Structures are given as C-alpha cells and as structure tokens.
C-alpha cells in the first residue's frame, strides 16, 4: 500500500515557515526593524528564539510593540536609532519588482517610516500575495478625517471606490489617531508615479503603495518551500 499523500500546508503554516526563514536576514548584534501583521507575528515569535543575539527592535505598531515586549525583546523609539540594517514586514500584494500594497493591518504610516530608516526591506509573504499588477487588494490610505469626502471624490476620478474602514460600526482609528480609506477598483501599473501623485493630495497621511520604499528581497512561502526573490 502506498503512503498517504501529505496534506498541503495551511496558510498559517506557510506564515510560520516564512517567519522563521526571515531570521537569516537579521543582523546579529544590531537593532532590527519589525513590521506588523499575522505573518510578522510569526517572525516575532521566531525572533524571540534569538533575542540574546540582537540589541532589540524598532516597531511599526502598538500591536507589534506589545508582542515584542511580551517576549522579552527591547523596543527602541525610532528617533533613538539612526539607520537600521534591515526591516522585516509582510505585504498585502507584491509585484515582480518588489513594489507592494500594505496597510491591511492599518499600520502603513509607521511601516513606511521604519522602512525608510532601513537599508534593506525584506518582505515575508505567502504565495497568495504575489501579483502581476497591484490593485486587486483594496488600497489602504491613511487620511486626516476632515479630508475624507474630498479624497473619496479624488479617488473616484481615478476610477476607484473609496470607503472609510470601520471597526465595531465606527471609523477605525489608527495608532496615529487618523482614519483609513480602502480603495477598490484601481489597477496600479506605475506604482512609483501613483505613490508620488497620491502623496500630494491634501489630507493624505500615507498611501499604502510602497514603491519608493520597495522590498529588496521577498521571501515567498509556497507549498514547495520558501522562495527567495531579489529586486536589487
């Protein structure tokens, strides 16, 4: 009798796999930039196993800070640190050049700040996140609440339908005290130009296109193992 075929890994198992694989990119003896989300949570759990080999972390959200501290990893203020060797974070979508959509966890502004402070962005994701053109995932945009209506009209002129993200029936409030628009119906074929354009709209805090702060490496978890994609 032949051995039963092993079941395909679940998405949660793929996230664990890629979270562990990211340890290879952590520079020992230094402070590491840490993103936000369910994949990053797996990375934080793995990071705890080498916590005595690093100085600590700069975190991109209150949620990640709490998880890091609960596991005994020191969290530094980003202003207390100059440059970070590496930033490790997930993505909602990543294209073939390392451009991403981020912000599904509403942490995009601090994520972009820590990414900008880092020499290298290592994206950790499961294979469902890899796309040809950004835009199938609703684009998160952190905004100043008083600009919501006008920004919704501006996105409509771009062919996008923007909605204020809610939590428990009320607008979600970010770690920075602002709101999030989620924009559907966009096809972002020139992410660099799109990010620059939307960043200029009054009331936009951060657009969730990460093209200027793109990934240099993507660790992509597939049922066959972790693939390393490089975008240098």
What is the rounded distance in angstroms from the CA atom of residue 14 to the CA atom of residue 176? 31
Q: Are 55 and 30 in contact (CB under 8 A)?
A: yes
Stretch touching ligand 5RP by CB under 6 A, among 50-58, 100-108, 149-157, 185-193: 100-108
Stretch touching ligand 5RP by CB under 6 A, among 62-70, 86-94, 158-166, 178-186: 86-94
**Lookup: tokens for 182:** 């989620």
Report helix angle 38-48 to 11-21, nearest 10.
Answer: 50
Q: Among 16, 39, 118, 174, which residue sits at the site for ligand 5RP (rule: CB under 6 A)? A: 39
Q: Among 107, 122, 139, 207, which residue sits at the site for ligand 5RP (rule: CB under 6 A)? A: 107
Q: Are 138 and 155 in contact (CB under 8 A)?
A: no
Stretch touching ligand 5RP by CB under 6 A, among 21-29, 37-45, 174-182, 224-232: 37-45
Assess 31 for contact with ligand 5RP (CB under 6 A).
no
Task: Tell me how many degrees the CA angle 11-16-18 measures, rounded to the nearest 5.
Answer: 95
Q: Quick one: 92 or 195, whose CB is closer to ligand 5RP?
A: 92
Q: Are 62 and 175 in contact (CB under 8 A)?
A: yes
Cβ-Cβ contacts under 8 Å for 100 (sequence gap 6 or more): 91, 92, 93, 94, 123, 134, 209, 210, 211, 214, 215
Assess 33 for contact with ligand 5RP (CB under 6 A).
no
Residue 224 catalytic? no
From 24, 74, 111, 195, active-site residue: 111
Q: Among 19, 33, 103, 191, which residue sits at the site for ligand 5RP (rule: CB under 6 A)? A: 103
The contact set with ligand 5RP (CB under 6 A) reads 35-39, 89-92, 102-108, 111
């Amino acid at each position: 009798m032949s051995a039963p075929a092993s079941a395909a890994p679940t998405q949660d198992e793929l996230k664990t796999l890629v979270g562990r694989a990211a340890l290879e990119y952590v520079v020992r003896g230094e402070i590491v930039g840490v993103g936000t989300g369910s994949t990053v949570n797996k990375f934080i759990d793995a990071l705890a196993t080498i916590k005595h080999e690093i100085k600590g972390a700069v975190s991109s959200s209150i949620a990640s800070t709490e998880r890091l501290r609960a596991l005994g990893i020191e969290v530094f203020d980003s202003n207390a640190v100059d440059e970070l060797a590496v930033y490790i974070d997930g993505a909602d979508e990543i294209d073939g050049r390392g451009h991403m959509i981020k912000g599904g966890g509403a942490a995009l502004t601090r994520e972009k700040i820590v990414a900008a402070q880092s020499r290298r962005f290592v994206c950790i994701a499961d294979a469902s996140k890899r796309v040809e053109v950004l835009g199938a995932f609703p684009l998160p945009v952190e905004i100043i609440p008083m600009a919501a209506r006008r920004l919704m009209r501006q996105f409509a002129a771009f062919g996008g339908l923007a909605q204020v993200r809610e939590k428990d029936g009320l607008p979600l409030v970010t770690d920075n005290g602002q709101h999030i628009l989620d924009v559907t119906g966009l096809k972002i074929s020139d992410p660099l130009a799109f990010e620059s354009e939307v960043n200029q709209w009054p009331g936009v805090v951060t657009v969730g296109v990460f093209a200027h702060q793109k990934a240099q490496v993507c660790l992509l978890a597939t049922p066959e193992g972790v693939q390393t994609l490089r975008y240098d």
